[in-house]
Amino acid sequence: MKEPKGRHELKYELRPSEFLLMRPALQAVMQQDIHAGPDGGYSVQSLYFDNFNDKALFEKVNGVNIREKYRLRMYNRNRQMILFERKAKRGSLCYKSAARISEETCDALVSGNALPAYALDNELLAGFTNIRSESCFIPKTMVSYDRTAFVYGPGNVRVTYDSN
């Protein structure tokens, strides 16, 4: 699988009042994220896969430089737009691969059943099928939050503010 272009991810904690002060400046130079609704935000629902020993979680907490995680993701609870994603960290760069999947494929991933044959045509899903059986990956953690996001295409810059 061809590795996508890497991006630096820097994370900071902001109070809501700090974001409200920054928002007009961001809107002046950046575009709203494609998932944004009329109010500029959207909800994110993610289901993370991990093994029985929480390998992916502990690698993240311990700052392991080379790691990866897999998740199902929906925006605004839209079951017509379900993504399966692999997010990898290689030193200071993050890489993300994603595949849009059907509800049938989603249900198979969540239940641990075999994926439909057509889903295995996707390199990301086929690779995860092998990893899932070798590492005993199962759905472990559900995360839901609200996001406001801005993008600046020429510099591959993305600014997100997550809340709730």
User: Which pLDDT value is given to residue 25?
Assistant: 95
Four-CA torsion 33, 35, 40, 41, nearest 10 degrees: -110
Please state, in angstroms and as integers, the Cα–Cα distance from residue 134 to each residue in 47, 129, 138, following that order.
Answer: 20, 9, 11
pTM of the full predicted structure? 0.89
Look at residue 73 in the predicted model and tell me its pLDDT: 97
The three-state DSSP-derived secondary structure of 60-122 is HHCCCCEEEEEEEEEECCCCCCEEEEEEEEECCEEEEEEEEECHHHHHHHHHCCCCCHHHHHC
Q: What is the pLDDT of residue 23?
A: 94
User: Tens of pLDDT along 46-84?
Assistant: 999 999 999 999 999 999 999 999 999 999 999 999 999
pLDDT at residue number 1 = 53
The pLDDT of residue 4 is 66
Residue numbers of the chain with a pLDDT score lower than 50: none
